[in-house]
Amino acid sequence: MAKKTMHIHLFHTTILDVLSEQSVNDMRATAIIWLRQDLRLEDNPALVESLNSDYSVIPAYIYAPDEEGAWPSGAASRWWLHQSLKNLDKDLGALKSRLVIRRGDSLDELQKLIAETKAVAVFWNRRYEPAAIARDTKIKEQLIDAQIEVKSFNASLLFEPWTIKNKAGKPFRVFTPFWKTCLSYAEPPEPLPAPANIHPPAKFPQSLALDELELEPKIKWAEGIRQAWIPGESGAKVQLDKLIEDVLQDYSDSRNRPDQAGVSRLSPYLHFGEIGPRQIWHRVKDEVGTKHGARLKTGAQVYLKEIVWREFAYHLLYHFPYSQDRPLYEQFTDFPWRRDSRALKRWQRGLTGFPLVDAGIRELWHTGWMHNRVRMVVGSFLVKDLLLPWQDGARWFWDTLVDADLASNTMGWQWVAGCGADAAPYYRVFNPILQGKKFDPDGDYVRKWVPELAALKGDKIHTPWLLSDEELKQAGIVLGKSYPTPIVDHSAARLRALAALKSIKEDTILK
């Protein structure tokens, strides 16, 4: 009888605890956390602020493709976004919370959520793209006018774009002094821990089902991407562990080898905010501090420099917003680009006849990603060998990359075209043959992505058009049928590009 009494007592205690907790939640004021490219729990300043202020929290995601300006999310990015939102909702569920999904005008949907929940505050983490800045500024003004508390935070950069200036107080256009200035600043703050719990509201507002956003493709083309990636915050942590354990020590050498697993592959996780740069920065520095070794230290320094290249991209986009679709150096506006839809289509399909270029494009098609060394070769081939506009390449990457990031995509394409900040010298034209032989010396990368050339041995795979008829026959290759002949003569195309680029440089001097 005593045992039964004790069990009843414990049961009533549990009920009272639950009722007490619910009563406290009913009494709390409500805050909306407007999530965008910060789809994580750890190191999320907007979320932490709401918890520190003891609000009941409604995490909300508003899908508003019409507000992205000229750059609405591409197909590969939309696939990733679906998986990321799904994983975030699961992570929130473990903390007795959930993700509220809406679609439409951001201001309208936020105002509806405020009315439905009687929320008194809206917090978000900042974005830095031109269209996002204009939208967020408008929303902040409207909500403040309505007596709503509004706070925004930095969750996606080590340094805010306006904080890094040259000695004249102006923005940088060259990376090395930007890098050195960043190093002279105080160390980026330590990342914030993930919350142990999130106070739920008394009642969650209505939410769309994730499938209603129609982010995933209607036709089955994403299977290769699905096999290559694990989106979400937990996937980002796994990838960071791989960087630390398997990549970092040899990073300074292996990062240029597409035939090796020598890069971090963290770019899509950074873009969607499933991990923040502060988390990566401090984890890498802690690793060097714990384990001493010249190779590890060198690899870590080179990798952290890559993280700051990402910062530089946002610095440029913030200070020169027109550069998202126009050359940073505007004299390149009149560059004599060619228009050749057939050549562009062959480049987009990986049918240029240059094996390293074709391998890169096919890797992109299959995985939604391309090795950075190969991106430079592929980009140079489009803008210098084919003399096609860099904007054509930027748009194609935007639609097909899972890590399509407006700042990095813009900077990368302008760099390779020679019209942007820290641009490659105009006379630098990547030779796809030499690049292949140097960075894919055994042909393993090309062999993986261009299987019709797989029977060729060693670096012969990079120049199939130079092989004898007998060698081609033994490898089962019929040039022009099983694999295309080169779309251009690289040597002649290089001279054509140099002449065009030199005319721009000379015009600039004359002006």
Told to judge if 306 belongs to the known catalytic residues of this protein, a careful annotator would answer: yes
365, 413, 415, 449: the catalytic one is: 413
Partner residues linked to 58 by β-bridges: 32
Told to judge if 390 belongs to the known catalytic residues of this protein, a careful annotator would answer: yes
Buried b (16+ CB within 10 A) or exposed e, 99-126: bbbbeebbbebbbbbbeebebebbbbbb
At 321, the amino acid letter reads P
Q: What DSSP string runs through 280-314?
A: HHHHHHHHHHHS--HHHHHHHHHHHHHHHHHHHHH
67, 372, 452, 471: the catalytic one is: 372
Told to judge if 287 belongs to the known catalytic residues of this protein, a careful annotator would answer: no
- Is residue 130 within 8 Å of 69, Cβ to Cβ? yes
Cα separation, 448 vs 45, in Å, equals 42
Contact residues for 19 (Cβ-Cβ < 8 A; gap 6+)? none
Measure Cα distances from 202 to 29, 101, 120, 245, 252 in Å. Answer: 10, 18, 15, 44, 52
Told to judge if 44 belongs to the known catalytic residues of this protein, a careful annotator would answer: no
Told to judge if 337 belongs to the known catalytic residues of this protein, a careful annotator would answer: yes
Classify 180 as helix, strand or coil.
helix
- Is residue 56 within 8 Å of 97, Cβ to Cβ? no
216, 309, 452, 471: the catalytic one is: 309
Cα separation, 23 vs 238, in Å, equals 39
Classify 483 as helix, strand or coil.
strand
- Is residue 214 within 8 Å of 82, Cβ to Cβ? no
149, 306, 452, 471: the catalytic one is: 306
Cα separation, 117 vs 98, in Å, equals 15
Q: Which of 505, 499, 493 minimizes the C-alpha distance to 381?
A: 493
Told to judge if 68 belongs to the known catalytic residues of this protein, a careful annotator would answer: no
390, 398, 415, 449: the catalytic one is: 390
337, 452, 465, 471: the catalytic one is: 337
Q: Output DSSP code: residue 54.
A: T
Q: What are the catalytic residues?
A: 306, 309, 337, 372, 390, 413
